[in-house]
Amino acid sequence: MGAGLVAALFAGLWWVNQPAASRLKKNTAPNPPAVPRGFGGSASCQECHAEEFSAWASSHHALAERPPAALDEVAFVPGRTFKHATQQTAFRKTNARLEVIAAGLHGTNETFPVQRILAHEPLRQMLVGFPGGRLQVTEAAWDPRSNEWFNVYGQEDRRPGEWGHWTGRGMNWNSMCATCHNTGLQKNYDAPTDSYHTTMVETGVGCEACHGPLQAHNDWQRTHPKTRTKDPTIPKFTRDEIFDTCAACHARRAEITGKPKPGDKFFDHHLLGIVDDSSTFYPDGQIAEEDYEATAFMGSRMFHQGVRCLDCHNVHGLKTKLPGNLLCLTCHGPGATNAPAINPVTHSHHQVFGCDTNGVPTHLDPAKYQPALIKETGGECVNCHMPQTPYMQRHWRHDHGFTIPDPLLTKQFGIPNACNRCHTGQSADWSLQFVEQWYATR
């Protein structure tokens, strides 16, 4: 299902309950509240924290939402047209403006200037302006790897007037997307006029989305250069507070207050989408719909032993700290930690890239781990313990539940298992026989 819509369904359930009459009153909105005080903005940090800044600047956080840039022009120049189901959308550059020509609210094609771009890789969606302070997300998305336009809804033919059409409430940026893709965002919905006065500190996930407002820190540092006095303005977060900050955006959740601050408790501000008898998750905790990472991870044994996001991810560049099995073996290697020690070869019963037949690593040099090479083998920890599912047609996301592949669950309850995600030509019984043979006696 379209990622946007799923996030939307959950994030925006309250919307449906708005009385229709209240949407029709004439515009009497008060002046929008000012952007929250106390923020310096990411650009202000660069002069003193060049290293963190450069790692962040090329990360997906910095690019999570942004004005169109030179790198986006390839999608519009030369102009082109793309057909999806019964509709046709065109793209072009007119003077300095990038434009989308698509079926608008009334069903006929209209020209919409692109105001901002949502996300970076493996796909980008366009934001265009609508009345009432709204931005809407186009269903046509750009894939920068294959250089082509595609429909985030796949073969679905959503029509103008439908809730889930890109012009509809379901694809409204203000209510459905903005909070997680920006910094210090306030939706500022005005029910009597059914309009938005959305404000933010900056587009994208900036430094202060995680560190909190730090203008006071900028001021203190500038007035106390090189003093030995301890800077009183820096907030220090615990591992759990950091996790809660990530979870605010990396969990499928509904907002309660709409005003979480970095370091606040997740549950003070959100209702978590959980593993229940709906179809959001499989009963063993694997992600089924667009669930992001935090819920599945909270259900894992690793989480309960204190493992957190930053044990595996670099905080500013976001990539994993080591490639492939090397990451997992920092804790699961023999004698490394209290984690169960795993010999990749005897444990997986598959060929393992970078190991000899005894499971002794032969390629400890991370540079030799080429993603293209390791994906070919069945012996990667992530292939069995972080199975991947495509979202928005193009993004293969890793399940963060760290579940055990179990073909018996497939047989009995139809829950997918990692073995048959690769061995698609085989049955669950086929996998089960090997799982029993390989692991039953353990």
CB of residue 124 to ligand HEC, shortest distance in Å = 6
- Which residues does residue 190 pair with via DSSP β-bridges, in sequence order? 195
Regarding 127 and contact with ligand HEC (CB under 6 A), the answer is no
When binding is defined by CB under 6 A, the residue of 166, 385, 415, 416 that contacts ligand HEC is 385
What HEC string does 308-329 produce? CHHHHECCCCCCECCCHHHHHH
Give the N- to C-terminal CA distance of the chain in Å, as an integer.
39
Give 168's contacts (C-beta < 8 A, 6+ positions apart). Answer: 158, 161, 162
Mask 55-94, x = binds ligand HEC (CB under 6 A)? -x---xx-xx------------------------------
Q: Choose between 103 and 126: whose C-beta lies nearer to ligand HEC.
A: 126
When binding is defined by CB under 6 A, the residue of 159, 363, 398, 411 that contacts ligand HEC is 398
What part of residues 242-271 is at the interface with ligand HEC (CB under 6 A)? 242, 245-246, 248-250
When binding is defined by CB under 6 A, the residue of 305, 362, 370, 412 that contacts ligand HEC is 305
CB of residue 288 to ligand HEC, shortest distance in Å = 14
CB of residue 21 to ligand HEC, shortest distance in Å = 26
| 278/30 Cα distance (integer angstroms) | 40
CB of residue 193 to ligand HEC, shortest distance in Å = 22
What part of residues 200-219 is at the interface with ligand HEC (CB under 6 A)? 205, 207-211, 214, 217-218
What part of residues 314-343 is at the interface with ligand HEC (CB under 6 A)? 315-316, 318-320, 325, 327-332, 337-340, 342
Regarding 163 and contact with ligand HEC (CB under 6 A), the answer is no
| 305/383 Cα distance (integer angstroms) | 22
Q: Choose between 103 and 329: whose C-beta lies nearer to ligand HEC.
A: 329
Q: Choose between 197 and 270: whose C-beta lies nearer to ligand HEC.
A: 270
When binding is defined by CB under 6 A, the residue of 92, 159, 187, 395 that contacts ligand HEC is 395
